[in-house]
Chains A and B, each alone.
Chain A
């Protein structure tokens, strides 16, 4: 394998957290609220993950993401369990791909409960597909360590900037324009 002894991997104990052991139907049912509740943490994690392109650097942020999701599910379980289970059950059994469009009635009941008990509003349609600006507190990644292409001493010099650039005589400079 390509992982040598020089690569620092986190210990098993560092990676042990309580995971979200829930089926897809339940995750899809709560998806909007997860995304809205944990928006800041999620954005920070995804920023880190895609800037560094290295799972090791974002383990701590990932733990925060998971704990945020867990806390949301605990809240739902405490306050809106019955409505939520009804909605998730509908999503599970109404279609093959967990479509949300099949379960508007149960969704309305669940949304009302979330609004009343937890004061959380469902984000508007397609909220997570939109471009949203996230102002991060973390530092931007360091630039590339080296110019990895070597500079050749005998490279062809480019045309000087003050050289006159006349327009093409026959309408173009592609190779079949015989100029």
Chain B
């Protein structure tokens, strides 16, 4: 133990000539643009892109008008077809309800035991039924397909 302690030790000292000076001076990045140039560039780019935006929005508006025009042209035909199908389905629903409630005494179709839903309207008024009534007698699959059409398309 004592011999080990007698090994000549080398003290940790600075390199000959001393340490290099610490570089504490600020080194700013190279300046490519001055402030005025950057403002001018911002304004220039904004102006050009606004013009391009204007051109594109005009084009998109034109396309939208064209599509709307085409859809409005075929709308009456689609509506006529839809109306016929709607009226057929209403009759089917009414017949189905009459068949379903045949054995219930006092039941009148479209009413609650003779009490009408819309009492102030004339009896011949066609009130469009809500979705659940319209699809009441159909296959549940069709109900789901129509109710969640947004999820499917």
Binding site for B on A (CB under 8 A): 1-12, 15, 17, 19-20, 27-28, 31-32, 34-36, 38, 41-42, 45-46, 49, 54-56, 58-59, 61-63, 65-66, 69, 97-101, 125-129, 145, 148
Once A and B bind, how many residue pairs between them come within 8 Å at the CB atom?
145
Q: A4-B116, A66-B80, A97-B67 are in contact. Are A15 and B87 (CB under 8 A)?
A: yes
A30 to chain B, nearest CB (A): 8
Distance between Cα atoms of A139 and B88 in the complex (Å): 27
User: Across the interface, do A5 and B109 meet the contact criterion of CB distance under 8 Å?
Assistant: yes
The 5 A-B pairs of least Cβ separation, nearest first, read A35-B73, A62-B80, A4-B110, A55-B83, A31-B70
Give chain B's interface secondary structure class: helix
Binding site for A on B (CB under 8 A): 62-63, 65-77, 79-81, 83-84, 86-88, 90-91, 93-94, 97, 108-111, 116-118, 120, 122-127, 129, 133-134, 136
Distance between Cα atoms of A65 and B78 in the complex (Å): 9
B106 to chain A, nearest CB (A): 14
- The residues of B that contact A27 with a CB separation of less than 8 Å are 74, 77
Contact of B87 among A10, A28, A34, A128 (CB under 8 A): A10
Distance between Cα atoms of A9 and B89 in the complex (Å): 10
Distance between Cα atoms of A97 and B70 in the complex (Å): 12
User: Across the interface, do A125 and B65 meet the contact criterion of CB distance under 8 Å?
Assistant: yes
Contact of A9 among B75, B94, B97 (CB under 8 A): B94
> In the complex, which residue of chain B has the Cβ closest to the Cβ of A19?
B81
